[in-house]
């Protein structure tokens, strides 16, 4: 059975690294909560620009594949094996949530979209974005969350 999209990367990351990423998120939330709404606004803008694990892996795979194709065309055809291997690892990541660069990127603190979104939602809650949620229609609640 294939793991869920939200769980596949943390499931393939050591508990120590997952805990450190979680602690860093908690430190971020505490820091920006103490700094006030202007700092929360700035942090939310930063989070909108943060690259998640999927984007990092896609960029990494594309770069290595292009290098392999270039070297295969210019130097030696054996380099064409590199994009094939990278494609296999990318497929493995899509299905299982693991590929060789994953542990490196996770140790560097690269988070999943879900982990980034957890910080975003915590900051929005601290800023008071959801106080009126109970009084609004479900459509308005969704629109507020997406802002």
6 domain residue, yes or no: no
Question: Would you say residue 8 lies in a domain?
Answer: no
Residue 40 domain-assigned? yes
Contact 145, 127 (CB under 8 A): no
pLDDT tens readout for residues 100-138: 999 999 999 999 999 999 999 999 999 998 887 666 666
- Cβ neighbours of 34 (radius 10 Å): 9
Which pLDDT score, from 0 to 100, does residue 74 have?
98
119 touches 28 (CB < 8 A): yes
Residues of the domain holding 76: 13-146
How many domains does the chain divide into? Answer: 1
Provide the whole-model pTM.
Answer: 0.87
The two three-digit tokens of residue 87, written as one number: 């494609």
Q: Cα–Cα distances in Å, from 6 out to 54, 77, 94, 138?
A: 11, 38, 12, 24
Dump pLDDT digits (tens) for 38-97.
999 999 999 999 999 999 999 999 999 999 999 999 999 999 999 999 999 999 999 999
Look at residue 4 and tell me if it is in a domain: no
DSSP code per residue over the chain:
-PPPTTTHHHHTS-HHHHHHHHHHHHHHHHHHHHH-HHHHHHHHHHHHH---HHHHHHHHHHHHHHHHHHHHHHT-GGGGHHHHHHHHHHHHHHHHS--TTHHHHHHTT---HHHHHHHHHHHHHHHTTTTTGGGS-HHHHHHHHH-
Burial of 43 (0-12, 13-18, 19+ CB in 10 A): buried
**Whether the predicted pLDDT of 145 surpasses 70:** no
């Amino acid at each position: 059975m294939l793991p869920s999209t939200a769980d596949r990367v943390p499931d393939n990351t050591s508990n120590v690294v997952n805990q450190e990423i979680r602690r860093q998120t908690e430190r971020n939330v505490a820091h920006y909560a103490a700094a006030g709404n202007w700092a929360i606004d700035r942090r939310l803008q930063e989070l909108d620009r943060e690259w998640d694990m999927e984007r990092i892996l896609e960029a990494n795979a594309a770069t290595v594949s292009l290098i392999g194709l270039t070297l295969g065309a210019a130097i030696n055809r054996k380099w064409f094996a590199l994009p094939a291997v990278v494609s296999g690892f990318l497929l493995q990541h899509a299905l299982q949530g693991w590929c060789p660069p994953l542990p490196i990127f996770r140790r560097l603190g690269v988070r999943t979209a879900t982990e980034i979104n957890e910080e975003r939602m915590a900051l929005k809650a601290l800023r008071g974005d959801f106080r009126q949620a109970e009084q609004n229609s479900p459509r308005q609640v969704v629109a507020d969350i997406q802002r």
